[in-house]
């Protein structure tokens, strides 16, 4: 927690230098500090499409550079960046919405994992069967480590909606991955 | 499988931050020149506001009487009015400055 607060203070100081002096080196430090997680966020949102994720990440940082005057420190800098990145992702995915729907339908038709070989592969498939908001909430809360409040800020959703999506998403995953628990139980019994 | 187990699985599935591999340099090359916020409209508005204030109050005897009494060190009613107006504006300016400094 203390580390996180110290990191936030460093980000705040760098952002202030950029805002007041137009310091490009300070902004470069911010890019280096956050590019890894922003690109990881976009790669997950785009289901591993690395090229598009990197294009959107680049767009995210250029927008952050232009709009840094609007960063007032009410959220952590990383959370502010995640929000810009998620907005870029939504804008980009609007164009390919039909394709996305088709993918979702195909994913819905896939059978639920029963006797899977690899739990991680099954989890990946199960994640894709969740609705887009449930996937986004679980990505930001469980994987990127944001609080529900921060996820609500990034995804521009009411806090209650975020909590509901998190609960429903986890409940679905539990149901779909129940076969693993049963298999584990059988292994233990034998 | 409980919530903690699902969350642990999700964390394990996340690959973590992506290595830089020249990404930051590419971003820095793409940055446009920074646009500075233009300050002259603020100063022009302040000047226009002060002029409008002076023009609307110049004809009232209260301002003249207050200013004269203030200069002579008399705490008359007009002088007190003027003093309160100045103090109010100073408090507003202080509040604004503090709010701006908190944002930074």
Which of A95, A110, A143 corresponds to the end of one domain? A95
Residues of chain B with pLDDT > 90: what percent?
A: 22
pLDDT tens over chain A, length 190 residues: 557 888 989 999 999 999 888 899 999 999 999 999 999 999 999 988 999 999 999 999 999 999 998 888 888 999 999 999 999 999 998 866 544 444 545 444 444 444 444 777 788 888 888 999 999 999 999 999 999 999 999 999 999 999 999 999 999 988 888 776 665 555 555 5
User: Do both A132 and A78 map to the same domain?
Assistant: no
CB contact under 8 A, B18 and A35: yes
CB contact under 8 A, B12 and A120: yes
User: Do both A152 and A188 map to the same domain?
Assistant: yes
User: Do both A143 and A67 map to the same domain?
Assistant: no
Cβ-nearest to B31 among A39, A62, A178: A62
CB contact under 8 A, B7 and A72: no
User: Do both A89 and A26 map to the same domain?
Assistant: yes
User: Do both A163 and A180 map to the same domain?
Assistant: yes
User: Do both A89 and A105 map to the same domain?
Assistant: no
CB contact under 8 A, B31 and A27: yes
The CATH number of residue A184's host domain is: 1.10.10.10
The CATH number of residue A68's host domain is: 1.10.1740.10
All residues of chain B having their beta carbon less than 8 Å from the beta carbon of residue A32 are 20, 24
Residues 6+ apart with CB under 8 A from A158: A152
What single string gives the DSSP state of each residue in chain B? --HHHHHHHHHHH---SPP-TTHHHHHHHHPPPPPPPP-HHHHHHHHHHHHHHHHHHHT-HHHHHHHHHHHTT---HHHHHHHHHHHHHHHHHHHHHHHHHHH-
What was the pLDDT predicted at A175? 87
Place of tokens 């609500």: A152
For residues A106 and A174, the answer to whether their CB atoms sit within 8 Å is no
How many domains are there within chain A?
2
User: Do both A50 and A115 map to the same domain?
Assistant: no
Number of Cβ within 10 Å of residue A152's Cβ equals: 20
Chain A: give the shortest CA distance to residue B91, in Å: 23
Residues 6+ apart with CB under 8 A from A15: A26, A30, A68, A71, A73, A77
Which of A51, A75, A95 corresponds to the end of one domain? A95
- ipTM > 0.95? no
All residues of chain B having their beta carbon less than 8 Å from the beta carbon of residue A36 are 16-20
Cβ-nearest to A58 among B10, B27, B104: B27
CB contact under 8 A, A174 and B18: no
CA A134 to chain centre: 11
User: Do both A80 and A117 map to the same domain?
Assistant: no
Q: What is the pLDDT of residues B12-63, one digit of tens each?
A: 888 889 999 999 999 999 998 876 666 778 888 989 998 988 888 777 787 7
Q: What is the pLDDT of residues A64-96, one digit of tens each?
A: 999 998 888 888 999 999 999 999 999 998 866
What was the pLDDT predicted at A107? 46
What was the pLDDT predicted at A110? 46
Domain extent, residue A159, equals 97-190
pLDDT category at B1 given cuts 50, 70, 90 is low
User: Do both A175 and A153 map to the same domain?
Assistant: yes
What was the pLDDT predicted at A4? 80
The answer to whether residue B4 neighbours chain A at the CB level (below 8 Å) is: no
User: Do both A84 and A174 map to the same domain?
Assistant: no
CB contact under 8 A, A40 and B15: yes
Chain B: give the shortest CA distance to residue A33, in Å: 10
């Amino acid at each position: 927690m203390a580390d996180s607060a110290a990191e936030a203070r460093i980000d705040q100081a760098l952002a202030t230098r950029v805002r007041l002096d137009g310091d490009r080196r300070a902004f470069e430090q911010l890019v280096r500090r956050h590019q890894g997680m922003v690109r990881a966020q976009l790669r997950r949102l785009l289901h591993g499409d690395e090229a598009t994720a990197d294009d959107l990440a680049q767009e995210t940082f250029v927008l952050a550079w232009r709009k840094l005057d609007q960063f007032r420190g009410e959220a952590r800098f990383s959370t502010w960046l995640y929000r810009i990145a998620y907005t870029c992702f939504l804008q980009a995915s609007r164009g390919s919405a039909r394709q996305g729907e088709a993918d979702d339908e195909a994913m819905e038709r896939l059978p639920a994992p029963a006797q899977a070989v690899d739990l991680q592969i099954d989890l990946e498939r199960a994640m894709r069967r969740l609705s887009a908001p449930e996937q986004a909430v679980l990505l930001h809360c469980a994987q990127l480590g944001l609080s529900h409040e921060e996820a609500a800020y990034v995804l521009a959703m009411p806090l209650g909606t975020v909590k509901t999506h998190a609960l429903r998403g986890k409940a679905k995953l539990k149901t779909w991955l129940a076969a693993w628990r049963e298999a584990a139980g059988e292994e233990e019994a034998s | 499988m409980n919530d903690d187990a699902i969350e642990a699985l999700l964390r394990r599935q996340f690959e973590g931050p992506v290595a830089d591999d020249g990404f930051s340099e590419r971003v820095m090359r793409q940055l446009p020149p920074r646009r500075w916020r233009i300050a002259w409209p603020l100063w022009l508005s302040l000047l226009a506001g002060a002029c409008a204030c002076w023009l609307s109050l110049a004809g009232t005897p209260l301002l003249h009487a207050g200013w004269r009494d203030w200069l002579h060190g008399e705490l008359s009613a007009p002088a007190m009015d003027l003093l309160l107006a100045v103090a109010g504006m100073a408090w507003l300016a202080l509040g604004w400055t503090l709010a701006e400094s908190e944002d930074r």
